[in-house]
Amino acid sequence: MRKMLRILVRVSGGKRESGKSISRAIIDLCKQEGILGAIVIQCLYGYGDKEFEPHILRGVGELPHLVEIVDEPVIIQQLLPKIKDLVRDNGLISVEEIYVY
C-alpha cells in the first residue's frame, strides 16, 4: 500500500486559458510534468453556488469539468502552484491523501 495525493479540480467547461479549456490546459501541464495519471470527467448535473444541467441552447460545452490528478506527495506538492496559476478564481481545487494497493 502506497500513500499518494489526489488533486480534484472543478472548473467550468466554458472557461478558457490560452485558447483551450482550463481542463485541457491542466491535462497538458500534467503530461509535460510527467504526472502519473490524470483524467477529465464532464459533469452532467449538480449544484454549488448555482445549479447546472445540460441545456438545449447552451449545449454541454459549458458544463463543469472535474479533473482528477494522482501522484506521489512530493510531485503533487510541486505541481499544485502551477495548477493554482491555471485555475485562479475560476474553480475549486482540493487535495486529499489516498492509498493505492
The predicted model scores a pTM of 0.85
The fold of the 2-100 domain, in CATH, is Alpha-Beta Plaits (3.30.70)
| Averaged pLDDT score across all residues of the chain | 87
Tell me the percentage of the chain whose pLDDT exceeds 70. Answer: 85
Q: Average pLDDT of 92-100?
A: 96
Three-state DSSP class for residue 79: helix
pLDDT recorded at residue 14: 72
Nine-digit cell at 4?
499518494
Q: If pLDDT is split at 50, 70 and 90, which confidence band does 58 have?
A: low
Q: How far apart are CA 84 and CA 59, in angstroms?
A: 27
